[in-house]
Structures are given as structure tokens and as C-alpha cells.
Structure 1
């Protein structure tokens, strides 16, 4: 006989939906579910990436716009240059500085405008011609040299050339070391005053305040750029140049007429014999030669420049006979001391060096290279002879006549 268990009601299958009974294991989410009001890590990550992408897009956009703007600006400037829109059409005002401007015979407004533009007196020839047309009233620009300024307005330039705002002048550039005859040629070319008028004035130098020993105006025609008023005559022109020389001598502290003549004579030799950098040393060497204790040359200056002046030529080459000729009053090889007068027009720097020579032990000097102007000094004849040989070696490499 079999035993039967009592019939119990059938137990229902537990509901196994998450979070409800029927199992000892609880769903994971029960413990790890994040608060609903905080963003999850997943939701944060896409937000930062979006921000980075937005920043990259912004930078790229700004860069592209900047490059585009630069291209557009460059294109505009190119077109402005191509069309001449960037060029200064006209200067303003009366200008600055001074410049001598020459109008040649037959020059018309267009040619004059081109010359003015080339010298930066006006901005453009076109504006000058326009201004001339508006202002000339039938007048013409006369040939001659005018005192102008740099970067003038076209209107101001026209006024100056028509005589309304400037003055017509005779421009003369007198270089340092020019002889009296050469200065007169420059003055004749500039002013058209006959040479004979200047030569006649030189025959009586005392009328300009020169000392009695002066035999001409030589040395007193001060070098420089001159703008003589067109109304000035030969006497007024010479007076201005001589006065400039006296002013330089007085500026160097030399006021006695006899001493002025001596300093001017010495300065003219310095000017002819040396480059500006060596003026002081050459002046000191000459002073040593003129000193009473000079046993090297016994009072002889021995300047080629003085001898050739007396021979009325310019040269560095002298024959033994020419050096021994005492009848040449400018021969400082044969006659001790200074020559009878200046041999050219010395500059301010040469006058200052003659008045204030360097204290040097030298008696000799020679320029060993005429291109560079390198000059070597020595205290003995033996040392000097070596430098003379160096000069002769340099001359042997030059074209014929370079050292003549």
C-alpha cells in the first residue's frame, strides 16, 4: 500500500521581475543606481567633446577670415599701386633745406617739372605743370639758377621760379684747393661776368683788405657753395668770398693781418699736400720744418705743390733743375721758409689745422696711395726714403699719368 502525501495546494511560481521577491539575489541596480539629478559620466563626455569641436571650428573660422581679409587688403593695395593711387600727388608748404636749381635756356614747364621731380623739389611733374598753368598768367620761367627747397608744394615752386616767392641767383660751387684762376673760371661760368673783370680786381688785392705782401687774391677766395644774387657785380662777389676767409681766420683766433697771411699760406700747402684726416699731422710737420732747431731739412719745406704752383702747372713730378731753381719764389726746395704766398683756396679745416698744428715728431710725409689717401710720416730721411719707394711701387701699377 502506498503512502500518499497529503495534497497541498500548488505553490505559485515566484514572480522574478527585478526588485521583487523569489530570489536571494537583488538586482545590481538596487545598489549602484546613480541619483537621478546628477549627469552620468557618459552624458558629461559628449558635452566636453562638443565644446572642443566648437572651439576648433571657431579658431578655424577666425583664421580663414583673417587670411581672407589679408588677401583682400593685399589685392587692394596692389591695385592702388598699379593705378598710382598710393603716390604722393603733391607736397604741402614751402619745403625744407636749400637746393640750387638751374633752368637752362629753352627749358619749358614740362621739362622743368621733370627736373624738379627728379631732385625731389616737387612731388610730381604733372602737379607742377598744373600749378604753372593756373598761376603763370602768361609769364615764362627765365633761364638761371634759383634758390629752392626740397619737397615744396607745386604752387610754392612755381612762385619761386616766377619770382613771386623766391629769388633768382647765380649758383657757384667753389671747391677747396682751387687756384685763383680756376675760381675765376667757375665765377665766369656761373655769373657770365667776364673773366677780365675778376682778373682786374685781383691786380689790386689791397682794396679788399689784404696785407701789403699779398700779390693777388690767391688763398682769400674762400671755397664753398655760393648763391649770388643776380644783381651782384664782380666786386660784390669777390668781397663776399674774401670776407668769408677773414671770418674763418678770426674764428680760428687769428686776427693780426701778417699772421693771417702766414697761416693762410701754410693752410694752402696743407690743403694741397694732405687728406683731411692728416691735416693736423702735416701742419705739425711743417711747423717742425720751420722751427729754428730743424736739422733734418734746415728750414726747407720741400713741397712739390708749391714748386708746381710757381711753374703754373699741377703735377707731382719735378726735375732736379726745377727743384734747384731759386728764382721760383714758390720753390720750397731751394728757398727756406714759406713761399711768398698761398697756392690755393684752403678750407676751414685746413685753416684750423694751420692755426693749431698737432704736436708730432715728424719732418716728412708722403701719400703712398693716391686712391686711399694713405699718408705715412717719418722723423728721418732714411725712413722717409722707404715710404717714397712704396709710393713709387704703387705708381708703377697705375696708368700712365696717374702719378704725374
Structure 2
């Protein structure tokens, strides 16, 4: 037994051996026990016994302390407390109170779950993700602002996001090809504010992170023309015109960046794409129109000039400066506007409308071809023919004139297709 507080075991053993040797010496010398020696031996035995008993008691106390620590500290930490509150993975519903949450464009189930968990709508992202995966309609959840209850069952939260009555925002849809003045009017109507306020917000360049106008070309009618992306936007309660316009501007920059368009080339891409949508009816023709534009800008091309000769550019300027009026075609050859691409070489000073990513891509990647002419020979069907031959171009013009005579004679109404 180890003596924890007294002499070392080695010392006791040495002392004991010395005592045995002394007793042997006394026996050998004929000095048997004389009373004093026996008394001293008895005291030694008693001292050792007391020391052993004390050490045993101390050891029992230490082991008892360890046992107490294990029972009170370690065991509770690894053994579930039957009285403890279990972790909530999904609320039972139906929930209480109301909170507004914003679901951004392109958010997936897990991202929506994170948003709702943070807002206190659902208990966990995992519960919402599972409910999202179990509902086949969940992928049609639209971006926007929703009024939802706190502590909803995850499956109920998915259903609520699919309920249009839960929407607390309004929506603005901007079609492809719309001019900036048309966009301003729609935003004003949606927000219930004067269109002048929207126009002012559109030209607060600092609100877009700009040091000045993004277009400083001579003769430009609106420096922000073409910079507002056409799409459907969520407008949360309390949004300002600047908030809405910033969404549209940022989307344009984002889409251009995705296509790898350098900042110095953005205006050119927007301008070419905006002409393509005005000149061709069908998406598959847009890359052909952008190729014609590029080919016509090359000196020495088959047209003999570097003018685009596209009436859509001057029609744009006329519409902006004369709202609600139709331009007389005879003015195409005489109007001195910088947007008259029959008279002026190169591109017009600005885009002539807003374009989406498909038109941006058509401007960045024109279809390969030598075409420098195209004619839509039937405006009702949208059929457009492309050529690099001037004589063929003249024949296509004759076909268009013949079609137009019938169109006018029919009261400018396209015939209803048979069947």
C-alpha cells in the first residue's frame, strides 16, 4: 500500500530490515528480549498499521470523489435528460403573427429555406428543403415579397409561397424593345407617382454607382436609353423609383458581364442588339441582322457606303420627340437627326430600346455570313430574306411592294390564316 503522506516505501523497508538485523544480533549475543526492545517493536508494528489504515482511507476517499464526479458531471453530459426539451426540426403549425420575407430571383429550395429559417417562419432549412422537394409545384415559386406566419409547418410554408394571395409586392413587366420613356411611364403608373419623378430618378447617375451618364455621344436623346433590362420585377411595398430602376440597371450589367462584354463595349452591344429586335420579327433572324450591321460598318462593303440605312433608328427618335405620332416615311431621306442612319455613317448615338440576354448574345456573336441586305417581304408572316447581292435585294423590294399593296387594299389588316 502506498503511503501518500508519510515516509516513502523504501524508507519503511530499510527501517524494517534494520530492526530485524538488530533482533538477530540480540538473539545471537544471548540478549533476548529485555522488554525495551520488545516494546519498541510493538510500537513500530502499531505505527505501520496506523499508517496503512490512513492510506487506505485516503485512497477510498479519492476513489469516492472520482465516482461522484463521474455520476454528477460526466454521465449527465452523455445521457439524454428525459425532462429536457427535444430539438425542434419542424413546427407543427399553423403558426402565429405575420412577417414579410423577400425571395430573390433564382433562389433554390435550400436558399429559400435559409431565408425562412432566419426569419423564424420555419424551424430548419432541412425541413423546408424536404417539403420543397416533396411538392412538385415548388419550382414555380416566384421571386417577390410574401406575408407569412411565424413558426409554420414547412410544407405549409411551401404552399403559402405558391399562393398569389400571399404576395404583398406589385410586379412590373418591361417588354423587350421598349424605349426608356415607355419604361418611365410604366414605373410611374405602378408606383402612383408623376412620370417626371421617375425620369429624374433615372438620371441620378450616382444612384447607379456612376460618376456621370453612361452615354456621352453627341445628339443622344436619353443617356440612359437601353440600360434598363426588360423583364418582370418584384416591387416590394415602399419601393421608390430609384429602387426599381436600380434593379433594371444592375440586371443589364450582370447579363453583359456574363457574356464577357468589356465595359467599353457595352454601349455598342446594347445599340446593335436594340436595332436587331426592331428590324426582325423572329429570334432566329436576330444574329443575321447583327451580322448585316457589322458588315455594313466595314469600309468598302458591297453597299458602297458605311451607312446602316435602317429606318428603325430614325423612327425611334421621332417617337421620343413626337409622342403618339406616326412618322411620314418621306422624312427618312431628309431628316437631319443624328439617328437618321440613311444620312449618317455608323451606329446611332444610342440604343433605340431595351434588350435582353438573347439580343445581347446576338450582338456579341453574329451569325457568319456576307449579307449586307435584308428585306421582310411579308410583314404579317414576318418572313425575312438576307442577301449580299444587290440585284436580289431589288427583287425582294419589289416583292415587298406587291405585298404592301394588297395589305393596304385589305385595310391594313393581316389575313386570318386558314384553319
Q: If the length of structure 2 is used for normalisation, what is the TM-score?
A: 0.55
What runs of 5+ residues in structure 1 fail to find an aligned partner?
1-91, 102-134, 137-151
Distance in 2 between the 1:323 and 1:314 partners? 22
Aligned to 1:227, the other structure's residue is in SS state strand
Q: Cα gap change, 1:252/1:99 in structure 2, threshold over 3 Å: closer, same or farther?
A: closer
Contact kept in structure 1, 2:274 and 2:359, CA below 8 Å: yes
Aligned to 2:172, the other structure's residue is in SS state strand
Out of 278, 283, 307, the position equivalent to 2:285 is: 278
2:374 is equivalent to residue 365 of structure 1:
yes
Out of 293, 298, 308, the position equivalent to 1:291 is: 298
Give the CA deviation at 1:325: 2.1
Out of 293, 311, 334, the position equivalent to 1:324 is: 334
Contact kept in structure 2, 1:361 and 1:379, CA below 8 Å: yes
| Structure 2 counterpart of 1:182 | 182
| Structure 2 counterpart of 1:173 | 173
Distance in 2 between the 1:262 and 1:333 partners? 19
| Structure 2 counterpart of 1:213 | 216
Distance in 2 between the 1:244 and 1:255 partners? 16
Contact kept in structure 1, 2:215 and 2:350, CA below 8 Å: no
| Structure 2 counterpart of 1:234 | 241
RMSD of aligned Cα (Å)? 3.3
Give the CA deviation at 1:324: 2.5
Out of 347, 353, 369, the position equivalent to 1:344 is: 353
Contact kept in structure 2, 1:222 and 1:245, CA below 8 Å: yes
Out of 98, 110, 126, the position equivalent to 2:141 is: 98
Out of 391, 402, 406, the position equivalent to 1:382 is: 391
1:136-166 Cα shifts (integer Å, max 9, x gaps): 9xxxxxxxxxxxxxxx97994499677xxx5
Aligned to 1:397, the other structure's residue is in SS state helix
Distance in 2 between the 1:279 and 1:159 partners? 36
**Structure with more helix by fraction:** 2
Q: Cα gap change, 1:98/1:397 in structure 2, threshold over 3 Å: closer, same or farther?
A: farther
1:29-79 Cα shifts (integer Å, max 9, x gaps): xxxxxxxxxxxxxxxxxxxxxxxxxxxxxxxxxxxxxxxxxxxxxxxxxxx
Contact kept in structure 1, 2:188 and 2:241, CA below 8 Å: no
What runs of 5+ residues in structure 2 fail to find an aligned partner?
1-133, 150-154, 415-419
Distance in 1 between the 2:158 and 2:359 partners? 43
1:298-334 Cα shifts (integer Å, max 9, x gaps): 11101111011111268997534432322x1110001
Distance in 1 between the 2:373 and 2:324 partners? 21
Aligned residue pairs total: 260
Distance in 1 between the 2:164 and 2:364 partners? 43
Q: Cα gap change, 1:303/1:204 in structure 2, threshold over 3 Å: closer, same or farther?
A: farther
Q: If the length of structure 1 is used for normalisation, what is the TM-score?
A: 0.57
Name segments (4+ residues, structure 1) moved above 3 Å: 92-95, 98-101, 152-162, 202-207, 313-322, 399-403
1:172-220 Cα shifts (integer Å, max 9, x gaps): 1110011111112222232323312111123455752352426432111
Give the CA deviation at 1:225: 1.2
1:336-376 Cα shifts (integer Å, max 9, x gaps): 10000010011211111111111211111122222322110
Give the CA deviation at 1:167: 4.5
| Structure 1 counterpart of 2:275 | 269
Contact kept in structure 2, 1:222 and 1:242, CA below 8 Å: yes
Q: Cα gap change, 1:370/1:159 in structure 2, threshold over 3 Å: closer, same or farther?
A: closer
Aligned to 2:235, the other structure's residue is in SS state strand
| Structure 1 counterpart of 2:259 | 252
Contact kept in structure 2, 1:177 and 1:346, CA below 8 Å: yes
Distance in 1 between the 2:247 and 2:292 partners? 33
Contact kept in structure 2, 1:329 and 1:335, CA below 8 Å: yes
Give the CA deviation at 1:100: 8.8
Give the CA deviation at 1:382: 2.2
